[in-house]
Amino acid sequence: MRPPERRIVFHRPWVGVEEEARCTGALRALRLVGNGPEGKRFQERLRALLGGWHVFFTPSCTAAFEMALMGLDLPPGAEVVCPAFTYPSMTNAIVNAGLTLRMIDVDPGTFMIDPTLLPAACNARTRAVVVVHYAGMGARMDEVNAFARVRGLVVIEDAAQGIGAAYRGRPLGTLGDLGCISFHATKNLTTGEGGALCVPIEHLARRFEILHEKGTDRAAFLRGEVDKYTWVDRGGSFVQSDLLAALGLAQMDRLGEINRRRQGVARRYLDSLRDLEAPGAFALPRVPEGTTEPNWHIFALRVDTARRDRFVKALKAEGIDASTHYEPLHLSPFARSRLGTGPGLLPVTEEICGTLVRLPIWPQMTDEDALDVVRAVRKVHVGLA
């Protein structure tokens, strides 16, 4: 049993003197509102990282979803397909936009959208498909995009967990039509709370910069294109403060090292636990085909359903803050009462949610920390066999 001060927490953001200096600088210069010098610089850095896509820094990934749906102007009642193995951010945005949510099952190997299920999930009212990239790995985008192109569907990527990760060499969040990223404190790059909407095309970006700024042409005003700004379209309060953009700039300088260190922890886990693998009882995560740069946002292994909750509890008792993950969204109280969903509807999602165990993974974990986690996992695995 580890003493409380040596407990291995589930996650700890890596924030140091560089972040302090950037934030203090922004604070002293009174750069508090958004889309000022820090905001512009952060969005430009993101844009460079994301292959030249236009980037809007938002209060959260959830806000980026809301902005994306607002900009798409889908007709009321249009259907949007979204995996049920996810966080209720996108599903909320869909419901709030007056659209019809159609939940879909996932691929048992990757925990991400199974493109072969799309034909049955789509109908004449379907207008968009949401792809959730899980754990800093890429979903099967080639197949999703090919299907969407034939059917005229918009592909929205939930790349909340995907910063710095790539699929076939292209950054997650820039593979479909619109991409959304999170900078929540749990994410690889954090601004505490925060997110980004990624937009590929200039004319769409012009529309989104108005939505971003509460329906005004403030962005054009800041560029000196108009001498005052006013209400020109729908919009929302989607701008994030320059103070947090300053934090993001310092984090951006660290991102490469953050992701390298996370990859190192993942490698240690994979190398040291490989021999425990047994079909149906213990499975390590795999980097799916096509993922060229996993950022290891999550390290999720699977154990059999009968042991899963006891497994997590026993790891906690060993001083290791392991965790389960999503509850199936189609079994949530809201979905059951408002959408009429229930058990058995999406069996792969139910199976994954009942078997998943996330191990601590964060950039400042030492190899000794990782080995302590390994020892605890081995002990618990044998103890609960």
How far apart, in whole angstroms, are the C-alpha atoms of residue 215 and residue 299? Answer: 40
Phi-psi region of 111 (alpha: psi -120 to 50; beta: other; left: phi over 0): left
Binding status of residue 158 toward ligand PLP by CB under 6 A:
yes
**Helix 367-383 vs helix 305-317: crossing angle, to nearest 10:** 130
86 near ligand PLP, rule: CB under 6 A: yes
Answer for which of 35, 60, 188, 259 binds ligand PLP (CB under 6 A) is: 60
CA distances from 253 to 8, 204, 285 (A): 26, 29, 28
# binding residues, ligand PLP (CB under 6 A):
13
Asked if 266 and 299 touch (Cβ cutoff 8 Å), the reply is: yes
Decide: is 136 part of the binding site for ligand PLP (CB under 6 A).
no
Cα 48 to Cα 44, 53, 130, 139, 186, distances in angstroms: 6, 8, 24, 22, 23
Q: Is residue 182 close enough to count as binding ligand PLP by CB under 6 A?
A: yes
C-beta of 91 vs 216, nearer to ligand PLP:
91
Three-state DSSP class for residue 185: coil
User: Which window, 83-91, 221-229, 303-311, 361-369, contacts ligand PLP (CB under 6 A)?
Assistant: 83-91
Among 61, 244, 303, 361, binds ligand PLP (CB under 6 A): 61
CB of 87 to ligand PLP, least distance (A): 4
CB of 191 to ligand PLP, least distance (A): 10
For position 195 contacting ligand PLP by CB under 6 A, the verdict is yes
Q: Among residues 160, 245, 252, 359, which is the contact residue for ligand PLP, using CB under 6 A?
A: 160
Q: How far is the CB of 143 from ligand PLP (least distance, A)?
A: 20
For the chain, how far is it from start to end, CA to CA, in angstroms? 20
- Candidates 71-79, 153-161, 197-205, 332-340: pick the segment binding ligand PLP (CB under 6 A): 153-161
Q: Which of 35, 43, 62, 295 binds ligand PLP (CB under 6 A)?
A: 62
**Among residues 31, 102, 127, 184, the one that binds ligand PLP under rule CB under 6 A:** 184
* Cβ 89 to ligand PLP shortest distance, Å: 4
The verdict on 132 binding ligand PLP (CB under 6 A) reads yes
Separation of alpha carbons 385 and 377, rounded Å = 12
Cβ distance 26 to 38 under 8 Å?
Answer: yes
**Residue (of 83, 46, 269) closest to 162 by Cα position:** 46
Neighbouring CB atoms inside 10 A of 256's CB total 10
85 lines the binding site for ligand PLP (CB under 6 A): no
**Interface with ligand PLP, residue 241, by CB under 6 A:** no
Our CA angle for 161, 167, 171, nearest 5°, is 60
Report the nearest approach of ligand PLP to the CB of residue 129 (Å): 15
Nearer to ligand PLP, 23 or 112 (CB): 112
- Name the minimum Å distance from CB 125 to ligand PLP: 24
The CB-of-86 to ligand PLP minimum distance in angstroms stands at 5
Phi/psi region, residue 215 (left: phi>0; alpha: psi -120 to 50; beta: rest), is left
Considering beta carbons, is residue 126 or 191 the nearer one to ligand PLP?
Answer: 191
Q: Which of residues 161, 240, 291, 355 is near ligand PLP by CB under 6 A?
A: 161
Q: How many CB atoms lie within 10 A of CB 113?
A: 30
The least distance separating ligand PLP from the CB of residue 13, rounded to whole angstroms, comes to 14
Q: What angle do CA 244, 249, 252 make, to 5 degrees?
A: 125
User: Of 42 and 87, which has the nearer Cβ to ligand PLP?
Assistant: 87
Nearer residue to ligand PLP within complex by CB, 93 or 374: 93
Residue 349's nearest CA partner among 182, 13, 116, 108 is: 108
Binding span for ligand PLP by CB under 6 A among 31-39, 85-93, 136-144, 287-295 = 85-93
Sheet with 166-167, side-by-side order of all strands: 170-171, 166-167, 291-293
Binding site for ligand PLP (CB under 6 A): 60-62, 86-87, 89, 132, 158, 160-161, 182, 184, 195
